[in-house]
Amino acid sequence: MPFAPDEMQWGLACGVGADGHWHGWFDLRVHTSALRRLGLHPDQSTATVTGASPPGWWHAAAERRAHW
């Protein structure tokens, strides 16, 4: 793993949503110095697409699952 245990922090929260179902959220935080080692920093240029887009069925499946 590229991060030491003290460079990462995570948390989990659960609760009942407006629809009456239980939902869970998690939060992951990584120290900025650890991200800089990987070349990720505020001065980094905007990311660009370097490969082909996923097939149409993939997008359709993601849309269906987003509304569950």
* pLDDT > 90: percent of the chain: 25
In a domain, 47, yes or no: no
Using alpha carbons only, give the angle 54, 40, 31 rounded to the nearest 5 degrees. 115
* pLDDT > 70: percent of the chain: 84
In a domain, 30, yes or no: yes
Residue 22: domain span? 1-41
Q: Is the pLDDT of residue 49 over 70?
A: no
Cβ-Cβ contacts under 8 Å for 42 (sequence gap 6 or more): none
In a domain, 62, yes or no: no
- Whole-structure pTM value: 0.48
In a domain, 1, yes or no: yes
For 47, which DSSP code? P
In a domain, 48, yes or no: no
C-alpha 7/C-alpha 45 separation (Å) is 24
The CA radius of gyration of the chain, in Å to the nearest whole number, is 18
C-alpha 28/C-alpha 13 separation (Å) is 12
Total domains present in the chain: 1
